[in-house]
């Protein structure tokens, strides 16, 4: 990083001596133990070596150490070590600082994020601290700092910023030409250091270089479009060394599957920190021209440190690939997978304007159950005036757990109010699609006292024959699986991991409804533009709904638009949009909708599918997930108990997944023969998945077992909730076959969508 800054000074700002120039003031605002300061002083000495200065070089380096190379540190211990390290470095450079106290390194004990503007401050209790603050303030307020570099701290839960820090971040909470998302990510400490550095270089000095290594979330995170827009406007040159090594986005693996540790890994800690990192170099020139492109390079694997060192002196043009950030995606400083026509396609809300957040109870262990009668008993106990609060808390801890997530935090007060009101309401017991392929029973009320987020307007639009699909406004890092579940029931908020928005094909409208479904008047959930488009093609809302579903499950679509799907709502390609004037547009959409209808039937576990869940199974599916006893014969009694360690109750009665028991093997000749070419499409290996020591589901192909939908490994997730010690009973015959049929449904989905690839 020091070498990169030195080169930027020479090449970009025309300062021939780089860091050795007498007018270059350098600051590490979070200097820790002084590593950057020591390296900067060594670089200054190296730059001076070729100038014929002879024995005066030491005096030049000493002048730099005491007058223009500064470090700020807020913690006392590293502050002391930084002074020690600078002192030792100066000795190694044959320019030792005087030990009589007349010479000191420019390292100050101060908060780097405040004090940049003159103001009256409270006196400190010791004169030495007053002197330290005055020295630091002179650097902040009077010194024309030209270089700011270092490794600012990252902490997404850094607590409240002081007023000066908070006000400075407001610049990143607004934007001119990009859509802003949730800006909570701006609270991270490293962002405050970026803002301080930007203000110092851009607004005070007017030119200079910022070079930080930091958490790399800001490069493409949804909290940071305002920050990125500002940097494109404020700086002339932006260069990014993306060091990856992220646990959440890539699982700390390279694109080739090799280990990708953090740049901060060591022999003692070979993995390093969890978040990915990047080195950002920002250059502001005196004659400023806003940047229109960003230079980036990707570094992966264990050899990243060596590659950084090897290329430290390289010409930037040879290292970085330039690209123009896309305003439609929030100006991400990372190259995104996105189709050329992405911005021209309508987003889901541009087609289906009505949507509802999934229901979030905050009390799942009280209000949701796999067994309806068990749920009825539990809710009846809750509303039983003869049972005390203490007794309810003993039986059902989740029922009386206080939480600020509810309208009223005090759970006992809530119960008192609900008991006075009376209940439960019989109509409140409804079907709930809780997770993919996992329908349960929910006790629902519109009142936010009992449920965290009941989505009160949602339930009225759920009726027999309704059609719903789930989506998310953006995907979590690294998500590549489909997010579109299909249901006729109320959907849970965590039906998909990111938080489900539920889009219906039809909305109930008792006054202006244009069609009846199950005796209920409904109208299509369409924008005027979408309705006009369909009218021209002679198609209806269900055709569009199923086309959207087919698109969202198309592997090629998700791969080609992976970057865009992380940033905003899915956009749906439509032939001839918006006028419907493309040749064969109706036929293309109708063909896609046909596939979407097949997918919808497979995705909705309550819809029978001939050849998959009813009648004679298709030959390629018949051998999949067959219930089997280890010793042969038929299952009975304890054979139905799921005890292989698939799940357990954790803190707050949350269900935690376990390892369970699987055995990986090759297909048998009989299985391979039965499955035909499908065996290769579903994976090279297969799994036997155990209920217990005596029984298992035989032959669950690798791709089926690993299949993810909405962030969940579907089959493993289903098992975790039905471990005997969680469910408190064995599986029944219907549940045994539900798992089998779900495996077959997934296999059929994979085979159907494989044709798209």
Can you give the pLDDT at residue 660? 97
**Distance separating alpha carbons of residues 320 and 314, to the nearest angstrom:** 11
pLDDT band of residue 179 (cuts 50, 70, 90) is confident
Q: Is the dihedral of CA 572, 575, 580, 584 positive or negative?
A: negative
Residue 158 has pLDDT above 60, yes or no: no
pLDDT at residue 129 tops 70: yes
pLDDT at 130: 83
Q: What are phi and psi of 245, to 5 degrees?
A: 70, 30
Q: Which of 14-23, 98-107, 281-290, 292-301 has the lowest mean pLDDT?
A: 98-107
pLDDT score of 608 more than 90: yes
Query: pLDDT, tens digit, for every residue of 427-470?
Result: 999 999 999 999 999 999 988 889 988 888 999 999 999 999 99
pLDDT at 477: 65
pLDDT of 664 above 60: yes
Separation CA 638–CA 630 (nearest Å): 13
Q: What is the pLDDT of residues 333-362, one digit of tens each?
A: 998 889 999 999 999 999 999 999 999 999
Q: With CA atoms as reference, report the closest residue to 212 among 160, 285, 267, 149.
A: 149
In whole angstroms, give the CA distance from residue 446 to residue 468: 20
Evaluate if residue 6 carries a pLDDT over 70.
yes
Across the range 639-646, mean pLDDT stands at 98
Alpha helices in 383-434 (DSSP H): 389-395, 411-421
| Res 651: pLDDT | 85
Q: pLDDT exceeding 70 applies to what percent of the chain?
A: 98
Residues 6+ apart with CB under 8 A from 498: 472, 474, 475, 476, 479, 483, 710, 711
Rounded percentage of the chain residues whose pLDDT exceeds 90? 82
Q: Is 10 exposed, middle or buried (0-12, 13-18, 19+ CB in 10 A)?
A: middle
Establish how many alpha carbons lie within 13 A of residue 287's alpha carbon, considering only the half-sphere containing its beta carbon.
2
272, burial (CB in 10 Å: exposed 0-12, middle 13-18, buried 19+): middle
Average pLDDT, the chain: 93
* CA–CA separation, 44 and 86 (whole Å): 13
CB contact at 8 A, 470 and 491: yes
- What is the rounded average pLDDT of the residues 203-228? 95
**Sign of the torsion angle spanned by Cα atoms 477, 438, 656, 501:** positive
**88 or 131, which is more confident:** 88
CA 274: distance to chain centroid?
14
pLDDT for the residue 159? 52
Q: What is the per-residue pLDDT for 102?
A: 86
Q: How far is CA 114 from CA 36, 53, 110, 189, in A?
A: 21, 39, 9, 13
| 122, pLDDT greater than 80 | no
| Bridge partner list, 491 | 433
Please give the pLDDT value at position 162.
63
| Overall average pLDDT of the 597-610 stretch | 98
pLDDT at 266 over 90: no
Q: How confident is the model at residue 307 (pLDDT cuts 50, 70, 90)?
A: very high
Q: What is the mean pLDDT of residues 656-667?
A: 96
For position 277, what pLDDT does the model report? 96
* Mean pLDDT for the stretch of residues 466-476: 88
- Mean pLDDT within 233-256: 93
Confidence of residue 182 (pLDDT cuts 50, 70, 90): confident
Q: Can you tell me which residue has the tokens 């700020």? A: 72
Quote the CA–CA distance of 478 and 573 in Å, as a whole number. Answer: 23
CB 471 within 8 A of CB 570: yes
Residue 156 binned pLDDT confidence (cut-offs 50, 70, 90): low
Distances in whole angstroms, Cα of residue 534 to Cα of each of 70, 531, 582 = 66, 5, 13
Q: What are the pLDDT digits (tens) for 497-551?
A: 878 999 999 999 999 999 999 999 999 999 999 999 999 999 999 999 999 999 9
Question: What pLDDT shows up at residue 251?
Answer: 84
How many whole angstroms separate alpha carbon 206 and alpha carbon 376? 69
Closest CA to 656 of 706, 731, 725: 725
Provide mean pLDDT across the span 230-250. Answer: 94
Residue 479 has pLDDT above 70, yes or no: yes
State residue 497's pLDDT score: 86
**What band does 72 get if pLDDT is binned at 50, 70 and 90?**
very high
- Give the separation between CA 141 and CA 592, rounded to whole angstroms: 64
pLDDT at 161: 54
Strands across the sheet containing 438-443: 368-369, 438-443, 429-435, 490-491
**Candidate from 98-107, 220-229, 469-478, 712-721 with smallest mean pLDDT:** 469-478
Q: What is the pLDDT of residues 669-679, one digit of tens each?
A: 999 999 998 98
The beta-carbon contacts of 66-69 under 8 Å, at least 24 apart in sequence, are: 66/97, 66/103, 66/104, 66/105, 66/106, 67/106, 68/22, 68/24, 68/25, 68/26, 68/106, 68/143, 69/26, 69/37, 69/40, 69/41, 69/44, 69/105, 69/106
If you average pLDDT over residues 63-91, what whole number do you get? 96
Residue 735 has, within 13 A of its CA and on its CB side, a CA count of 20
What pLDDT, on a 0 to 100 scale, did the predictor assign at position 755?
Answer: 64
Average of per-residue pLDDT across 73-94 = 96
The predicted pLDDT at position 514 comes to 94
Alpha helices in 581-684 (DSSP H): 585-603, 619-622, 669-675, 678-681
Please compute, for residue 402, the number of CA atoms within 13 A of its CA located in the half-sphere on the CB side. Answer: 4
Q: What does 220-288 look like in DSSP terms, one character per residue?
A: T-TT-HHHHHHHHHH-SEEEEEEEE--TTTSTTB-TTS-B---TT--SSSSS--SS-EEEEEEEE-SS-
pLDDT value at residue 618: 96
Q: Mean pLDDT, to the nearest integer, of 722-727?
A: 97
Q: Which residues of 652-679 are buried (b: 16+ CB within 10 A; e: fewer)?
A: eeebebbebbbeeeebeeebeebbeebb
**Who contacts 535 (Cβ-Cβ below 8 Å, separation ≥6)?**
none
What pLDDT is attached to residue 157? Answer: 53
Q: What is the pLDDT of residues 391-434, one digit of tens each?
A: 999 999 989 989 888 888 999 999 999 999 998 999 999 999 99
pLDDT for the residue 147 = 98
Q: Is 431 helix (H, G, I), strand (E, B) or coil?
A: strand
CB 541 within 8 A of CB 505: yes
CA–CA dist 676, 39 (Å, integer): 64
pLDDT surpassing 90 at residue 125? no
Instruction: Specify whether the CB–CB gap between 699 and 686 falls below 8 A.
Output: yes
Q: How far is CA 257 from CA 85, 250, 271, 703, in A?
A: 40, 10, 15, 18
DSSP H or E run through 708? strand 708-709
In this model, does residue 237 exceed pLDDT 60?
A: yes
With beta carbons less than 8 A apart as the criterion, state whether 701 and 624 touch.
Answer: yes
The neighbour count for residue 391, using CB atoms within 10 Å, is 12
pLDDT, average across residues 708-719: 96
CA quadruple 221, 223, 226, 231: dihedral sign: negative
């Amino acid at each position: 990083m020091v070498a990169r800054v030195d080169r930027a000074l020479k090449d970009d700002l025309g300062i021939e001596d780089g860091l050795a120039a007498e007018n270059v003031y350098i600051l590490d605002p979070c200097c820790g133990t002084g590593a950057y300061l020591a390296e900067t002083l060594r670089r200054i000495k190296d730059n001076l070596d070729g100038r014929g200065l002879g024995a005066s070089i030491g005096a030049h380096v000493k002048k730099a150490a005491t007058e223009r190379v500064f470090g700020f540190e807020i913690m006392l211990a590293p502050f002391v070590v930084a002074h020690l390290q600078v002192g030792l470095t100066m000795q190694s450079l044959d320019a030792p600082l005087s030990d009589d106290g007349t010479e000191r390194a420019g390292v100050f004990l101060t908060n780097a994020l405040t004090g940049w503007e003159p103001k009256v401050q409270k006196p400190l209790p010791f004169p030495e601290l007053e002197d330290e603050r005055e020295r630091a303030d002179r650097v902040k307020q009077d010194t024309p700092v030209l270089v700011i570099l270092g490794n600012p701290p990252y902490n997404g839960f850094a607590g409240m910023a002081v007023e000066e820090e908070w006000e400075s971040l407001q610049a990143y909470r607004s934007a001119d030409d990009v859509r802003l998302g949730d800006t909570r990510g701006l609270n991270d400490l490293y962002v405050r250091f970026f803002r301080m550095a930007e203000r110092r270089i851009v607004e005070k000095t007017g030119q200079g270089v910022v070079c930080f290594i930091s958490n790399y979330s800001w490069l493409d995170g949804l909290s940071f479009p305002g920050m990125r827009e500002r940097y494109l406007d404020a700086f002339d040159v932006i260069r990014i060394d993306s060091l990856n090594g992220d646990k959440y986005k890539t699982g700390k693996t390279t694109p080739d599957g090799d280990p990708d540790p953090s740049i901060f890994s060591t022999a003692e800690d070979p993995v390093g920190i969890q978040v990915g990192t990047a080195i950002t170099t920002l250059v502001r020139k005196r004659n400023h021209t806003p940047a229109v492109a960003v230079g980036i390079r990707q570094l992966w694997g264990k050899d990243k440190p060596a590659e950084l060192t090897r290329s430290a002196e390289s010409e930037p043009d040879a290292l970085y690939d330039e690209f123009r950030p896309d305003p439609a995606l929030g100006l991400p400083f990372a190259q995104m997978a996105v189709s050329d026509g992405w911005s021209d396609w309508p987003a889901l809300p541009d087609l289906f304007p009505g949507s509802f957040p999934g229901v979030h109870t905050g009390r799942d262990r009280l209000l949701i159950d796999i067994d309806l009668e068990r749920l009825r008993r539990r809710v009846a106990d809750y509303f039983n005036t003869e049972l005390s609060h203490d007794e309810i808390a003993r039986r059902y801890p989740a029922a009386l757990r206080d939480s600020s997530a509810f309208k009223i935090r005090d759970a006992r007060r809530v119960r008192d109010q609900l008991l006075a009101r009376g209940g439960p309401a019989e109509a409140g017991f409804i079907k709930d699609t809780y997770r993919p392929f996992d329908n349960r029973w929910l006790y629902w009320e519109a009142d936010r006292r009992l449920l965290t987020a009941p989505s009160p307007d949602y339930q009225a639009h759920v009726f027999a024959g309704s059609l719903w699909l789930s989506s998310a406004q953006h995907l979590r890092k690294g998500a590549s699986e489909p997010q579109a579940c299909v249901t006729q029931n109320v959907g849970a908020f965590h039906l998909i991991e990111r938080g489900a928005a539920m889009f219906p094909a039809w909305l109930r409208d008792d006054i202006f409804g244009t069609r009846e479904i199950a005796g209920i008047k409904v109208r299509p959930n369409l924008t005027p533009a979408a309705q006009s488009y369909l009218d021209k093609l002679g198609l209806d809302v269900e055709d569009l709904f199923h086309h959207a579903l087919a698109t969202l499950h198309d592997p090629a679509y998700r791969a080609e638009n992976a970057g865009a799907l992380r940033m905003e709502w899915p956009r749906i390609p439509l032939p001839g949009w918006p006028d419907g004037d493309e040749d064969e547009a109706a036929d293309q959409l109708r063909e896609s909708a046909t596939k979407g209808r097949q997918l919808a039937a497979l995705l909705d576990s309550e819809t029978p599918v001939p050849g998959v869940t009813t009648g004679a199974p298709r030959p390629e599916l018949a051998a999949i997930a067959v219930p089997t006893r280890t010793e042969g014969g038929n299952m009975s009694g304890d054979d139905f108990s799921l005890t292989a360690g698939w799940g357990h109750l954790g803190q707050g009665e949350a269900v935690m997944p376990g390892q369970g028991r699987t055995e990986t093997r090759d297909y048998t000749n009989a299985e391979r023969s039965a499955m035909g070419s499908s065996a290769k499409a579903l994976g090279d290996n297969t799994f036997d998945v155990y209920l217990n020591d005596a029984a298992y589901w035989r032959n669950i192909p690798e791709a089926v077992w690993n299949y993810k939908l909405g962030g969940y490994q579907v089959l493993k997730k289903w098992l975790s909730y039905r471990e005997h010690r969680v469910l408190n009973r064995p599986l029944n015959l219907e549940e045994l076959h539900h798992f089998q049929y779900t495996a077959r449904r997934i296999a059929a989905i994979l085979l159907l969508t494989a044709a798209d690839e």
